[in-house]
Homo-oligomer: A and B are copies of this chain.
Amino acid sequence: MAPTDTELLSHAIAEARAGRATGGIPIGAALIVDGEVLATGHNKRVQLDSPILHGETDCLAAAGRLPASVYARATMVTTLSPCDMCTGAILLYGIPRVIIGENTTFYGGEDYLRQRGVEVTVLDDPECIELMREFIAAEPALWNEDIGEDA
């Protein structure tokens, strides 16, 4: 039986928690192909001092170089609505489906993804919302830096 969207999201949440546990921003992602987890990743701005390793891009990097035919069967699962960069990465590789844990904390490129033909599902998951709520309360400056909005 194919895993449910919520089951798939659990892999991204585990990554988000791992990111927070190592002092980072709690956003995680998983790349699913044919119902299996091909790769996972999490935001590593803090851990690797990187402005380009968000959950989704770190996950794509972990997956390594893949043929377009694999991306074409893939689903990107992410705990938080994807920023413009991660939206663009999904579009570059023609990933046809995105599952988003929540878009209450941050509303990213969802409309643009849909406009470009990507199927987007938002789960409105309370665990994802709480992860971000706790993090932003604790580290507002770091969060603003990650979305390009610090002063």
Binding site for B on A (CB under 8 A): 45, 49-52, 57, 60-61, 63-69, 71, 83-89, 91-94, 109, 144-145, 147-151
Q: A49, A51, A144: which has the most chain B beta carbons within 10 Å? A: A51
- A93 nearest in chain B by CB position: B148
Alpha-carbon distance A83/B68, docked complex (angstroms): 15
Question: Within 8 Å CB of A51, what residues of B?
Answer: 60-61, 63-66, 93
Alpha-carbon distance A76/B114, docked complex (angstroms): 27
B52 touches A89 (CB 8 A): yes
Q: A67-B145, A83-B92, A84-B88 are in contact. List 17 more A-B contacts (CB 8 A).
A: A45-B65, A51-B61, A51-B64, A52-B60, A52-B89, A57-B57, A57-B85, A65-B145, A69-B150, A71-B148, A84-B89, A85-B85, A85-B88, A85-B89, A88-B88, A88-B89, A88-B91
